[in-house]
Structure formats: structure tokens, C-alpha cells
């Protein structure tokens, strides 16, 4: 994040506190920031311990809106949806054309939580405020702020999730105007955030969610044993989600808003991809399509409406039925699949197969009969396939798996690539796909950061 973007983040916090609301993100252009905003709070006014709770809530609110945007954008960019938008920006998301200098690339960089998948600025704002408010809390006398340590743990927990998204979704990253970083370097900072949250948050749900987040970051970095140890701390039935609401743009579940809402004439920018429709499991426990027992984990259907391109039939999922539906960050199911993947990577295929079968049993589905004699490579692929169903359109997992296993024996092709349902580079309407996989560092960063030269 450049100094200019950091200044914007601080200005937005001051303005939102004056209005008595949570932080709202927006454009960081100097001419806009120069406008005199009536009632704007002076920076020194934030040094009031009585505002500690409001400061913490600003981190929570910003991280929740940023994560909702990220999870929706990641799902749209993955192979879970085919592109069906008549809007250029949203169509380029579905067609993998978010060049940093293109329209959609600009929204990726500078869009807010109120825009079509504003991702970079909301995530960087949430991450920056995590650090800024953590430091501000440290300056307050503990006697004036009951639960100060827990508040600091809370902001670290939410900041960790912003860092996970920045580390997973982008090809490279920069923090606070620093040098260009590789994904594992960003994820290491996320691990540090979650570790501080685990030791200080106090709240059981936040601590557990931080174990889940740290397990995910460690899995991404190939720390298999560490990922297993953390994921084992997530109890059965646990789910941690960003709170959403239908009455305010930045509070909406954006996956439902932009992709899944059948009642809005300007939604339906994507339709559930063909290979995620009518999913089944046969008697031998093989994952099939329209051949066996319906898989209840991937509830997909259509009412025959056309999507926003007025050409493609819109298929949607019943996993989200409202713009107010929570946007999950982590869950017991996610943790179990982390254990399964890491175990398989370490050669413990029996544990991985056991978890697959346990999740199948919960869904009332047949066990994977061939798992008992499957190779390590096949078991790893089976875990990824199981996750594609268990966590369908959830938590940005499919996009992450597509990036993590790119170039491996378990590669999951992006739409438009050989091996995908659109192998010839064209979508179902004959429009050409782009080549974007991970998201490039936006031009707003490369142009404004003196430590990055391109």
C-alpha cells in the first residue's frame, strides 16, 4: 500500500467516525481527499480511549466487506461460473481479462466495497487499519480500556484474513509502500497476525477462527505438519463468517448480489458452470455427474431465466438465498480438508481417505471404495475434488486450489484452457477468454510505490 493509499484509508476512518458509522472505503485520489468534509474528525480525536471499541469495529467492518468482495471475485474468476454478463466490467471478470490497466483491472485496484468486486483497496485498507489501530490501542492505558489485549487480538485476527486474501489471490504484493513480495512472504505475515490473535484475542470463536486461518496460510506455504496441528484445533460444527445485510451496498453478500440473485434484473453476471450442475456420487463412491445419488453439497438449479447476457440460461446455487447471507471465512469442513490435503502430501493417504469418507457420511453419500488402494497423487486429486463440492462457492477455496496446483499433476484448468469445459479459448457464446490466472499487482501500486520498478 502506497503512502497515498494509506492517507486515504486514514481519511476514510476519520470521516466515518464523524458520521457514527463503520469505516467505508472509497477512492484515494488527491483532489477528492482535498475536499473539505463537514464534521470531519481530527486525527488527534482518535487518541481517546473511549473510542477503542469503535476503532476495533472499524477493522471488523472493513475486513468483512473486503472478504465478501474477495470471495465473490475469486469464485467468479474460478471455474465455478461461466461468464454471462452484458456489463463490460463484470464480463471481463468472468472471461479472465482483468489486466491492471483495463477497466476491470482498475476496479480490482481502486474499487470500494460498494463497487463491482473492489478487491485490492478494501483488502489493503483492512490490513492497514489492523496495524494502525493495533498500534493506537497499544498507546492507550490498559486501565482506561477494559479488555485492551483482547481488542488487539481481535484486530490481529481480522487483519490475518485480509493478508490471506492478498497472499493467495495476487501474483505478488506490496505492503505499506515496501518492496514487491511473493505470496509466501505475505502469508507469513498472515501467520504472525493469527499467532498474535491466538495468544491475545480471548474470544473463543476468534481464537478458533485464527487457528483455521493460520492452518490455511501454512497449507499454502507447504507447512503440512503445521497446517494439520492448527486445523485440528477447529471443532466439529464450527463456522466463522462475515456478517452481511441486504440494506446497504458494502454490507451485502456480493456473491449473491452479482452472481446468484435470480430476482434482480441486473444481477446474474455468471451462471454456475456446466461441470458443477447435477453432481452425483455413484455406488462405488466415484464423483459423477447425473449418474448416481445427488450430491446435496452442491445445490444447483435453474428456473429458466436468462442471465444478464440475455443469451445464457442462468443456473444458481441454493447455498446463498439472500444478500444478507453470511460470507464464510473458515469452518470445520475447511479444516478437515486441510488435514486431508496435508496428510496426503506427507504420504498419509489413509488419513486423507478417512476424512473424505467421513465428510461423505455426513452428507449421506457412499464411501470412496477405490480410496483404499489409491496412489498418493490420486488421493491428493481426490481431496481437491472433494473440496470443490464440500466448499463450493465458499471461502475462495476453488480459486486458491487452481493457483496452488498450477503446473502439477493435479492442475485444475481455468476456463478457456485445455482440460476445461471450454478448451478452445472461447466461452459458450463464442467470446474469447483472457489469460489472467493470479491477479497482477495493480498499476496504482506499481506507479505509486518507489520501491517497485516495472
DSSP of 388-423: HHHTTTSTTHHHHHHHHTTTSTT--PPTTSTTSSST
Of 33-37, 117-121, 290-294, 316-320, which range is least confident? 33-37
Longest dimension (CA), the chain: 69
d(CA 256, CA 265): 13
- Of 89-98, 142-151, 191-200, 255-264, the range with the highest mean pLDDT is 191-200
- Asked if residue 3 has pLDDT above 80, the reply is no
Task: Report phi then psi at 102, rounded to 5.
Answer: -85, 170
Q: Checking phi first, is residue 430 left (phi over 0); if not, alpha (psi -120 to 50) or beta?
A: left
Q: Which pLDDT belongs to residue 164?
A: 98
Per residue in 166-192, pLDDT tens? 999 999 999 999 999 999 999 999 999
DSSP designation for 260: I
Q: Which pLDDT belongs to residue 338?
A: 98
- Determine which helix (DSSP H) or strand (DSSP E) holds 328, and give its type and residue range: strand 327-331
**Half-sphere exposure at residue 237, Cβ-oriented, CA atoms within 13 angstroms:** 0
Per residue in 118-169, pLDDT tens? 899 999 999 999 999 999 999 998 888 899 999 999 999 999 999 999 999 9
Q: Which pLDDT belongs to residue 315?
A: 97
- Helix then strand count (H, E) for the chain reads 16, 9
Q: Which pLDDT band holds residue 263 (cuts at 50, 70, 90)?
A: confident
DSSP reduced 3-state for 364: coil
- Asked if residue 14 has pLDDT above 60, the reply is no
Beta strands in 16-129 (DSSP E): 81-83
Question: Across residues 53-58, what is the average pLDDT?
Answer: 93
Rounded to 5°, angle at Cα 212 from 206 and 213 = 85
Q: Which pLDDT belongs to residue 271?
A: 97
Among candidates 241, 204, 259, 237, which has minimal Cα distance to 78?
Answer: 259
- Would you say how long the chain is, in residues? 454
Task: Report phi then psi at 331, rounded to 5.
Answer: -165, 170
d(CA 273, CA 90): 16
Among candidates 217, 116, 208, which has minimal Cα distance to 165?
Answer: 217
Q: Which pLDDT band holds residue 10 (cuts at 50, 70, 90)?
A: very low
Averaged pLDDT score across all residues of the chain: 88
d(CA 196, CA 200): 6
- Determine which helix (DSSP H) or strand (DSSP E) holds 79, and give its type and residue range: none
d(CA 393, CA 84): 17
The neighbour count for residue 236, using CB atoms within 10 Å, is: 10
Q: Which pLDDT band holds residue 437 (cuts at 50, 70, 90)?
A: very high
- Asked if residue 108 has pLDDT above 80, the reply is no
Q: Where are the alpha helices (DSSP H) in 170-319?
A: 183-200, 204-220, 224-231, 254-255
pTM: 0.89
- Classify the C-alpha dihedral 247-251-254-260 as positive or negative: negative
Amino acid at each position: 500500500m502506497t503512502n497515498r493509499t494509506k492517507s486515504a484509508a486514514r481519511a476514510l476512518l476519520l470521516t466515518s467516525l464523524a458520521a457514527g458509522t463503520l469505516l467505508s472505503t472509497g477512492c484515494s485520489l488527491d483532489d477528492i481527499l482535498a475536499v473539505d468534509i463537514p464534521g470531519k474528525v481530527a486525527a488527534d480525536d482518535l487518541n481517546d480511549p473511549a473510542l477503542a471499541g469503535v476503532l476495533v469495529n472499524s477493522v471488523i467492518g472493513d475486513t468483512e466487506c473486503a472478504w465478501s468482495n474477495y470471495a465473490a471475485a475469486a469464485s467468479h474468476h474460478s471455474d465455478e461460473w461461466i461468464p454471462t454478463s452484458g456489463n463490460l466490467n463484470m464480463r471481463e471478470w468472468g472471461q479472465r481479462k482483468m489486466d491492471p490497466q483495463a477497466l476491470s483491472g482498475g476496479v480490482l485496484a481502486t474499487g470500494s466495497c460498494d463497487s463491482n468486486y473492489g478487491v485490492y483497496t478494501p483488502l489493503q485498507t483492512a490490513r492497514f487499519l489492523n496495524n494502525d489501530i493495533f498500534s493506537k490501542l497499544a498507546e492507550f492505558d490498559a486501565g482506561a480500556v477494559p479488555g485492551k489485549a483482547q481488542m488487539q487480538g481481535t484486530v490481529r485476527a481480522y487483519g490475518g484474513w485480509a493478508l490471506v486474501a492478498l497472499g493467495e489471490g495476487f501474483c505478488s504484493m506490496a505492503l505499506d509502500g515496501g518492496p514487491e513480495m511473493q505470496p509466501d512472504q505475505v502469508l507469513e505475515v498472515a501467520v504472525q497476525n493469527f499467532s498474535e490473535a491466538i495468544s491475545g484475542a480471548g474470544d473463543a470463536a476468534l481464537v478458533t477462527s485464527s487457528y483455521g486461518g493460520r492452518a490455511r496460510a501454512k497449507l499454502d506455504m507447504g507447512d503440512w505438519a503445521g497446517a494439520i496441528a492448527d486445523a485440528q484445533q477447529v471443532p466439529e460444527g464450527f463456522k466463522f463468517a462475515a456478517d452481511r445485510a441486504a440494506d446497504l451496498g458494502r454490507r451485502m453478500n456480493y456473491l449473491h448480489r452479482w452472481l446468484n440473485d435470480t430476482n434482480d434484473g441486473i444481477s446474474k453476471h455468471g451462471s454456475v458452470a456446466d461441470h458443477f450442475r447435477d453432481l452425483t456420487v455413484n455406488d462405488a463412491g466415484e464423483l459423477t455427474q447425473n449418474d448416481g445419488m445427488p450430491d446435496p453439497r452442491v445445490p444447483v438449479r435453474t428456473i429458466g431465466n436468462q442471465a444478464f447476457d440475455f443469451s445464457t440460461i442462468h443456473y444458481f446455487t441454493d447455498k446463498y438465498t439472500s444478500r444478507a447471507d453470511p460470507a464464510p471465512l473458515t469452518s470445520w469442513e475447511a479444516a478437515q480438508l486441510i488435514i486431508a490435503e496435508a496428510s496426503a502430501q506427507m504420504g498419509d493417504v489413509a488419513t486423507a481417505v478417512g476424512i473424505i469418507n467421513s465428510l461423505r457420511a455426513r452428507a449421506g453419500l457412499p464411501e470412496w471404495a477405490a480410496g483404499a488402494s489409491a496412489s498418493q497423487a490420486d488421493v491428493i486429486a481426490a481431496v481437491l475434488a472433494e473440496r470443490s463440492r464440500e466448499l463450493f462457492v465458499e471461502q475462495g477455496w476453488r480459486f486458491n486450489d487452481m493457483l496452488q496446483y498450477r503446473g502439477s499433476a493435479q492442475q485444475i484448468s481455468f476456463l478457456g484452457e485445455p482440460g476445461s469445459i471450454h478448451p478452445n479459448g472461447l466461452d459458450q457464446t463464442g467470446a474469447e477468454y483472457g489469460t489472467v490466472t493470479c491477479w497482477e499487482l495493480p498499476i496504482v501500486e506499481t506507479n505509486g510505490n518507489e520501491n517497485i520498478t516495472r
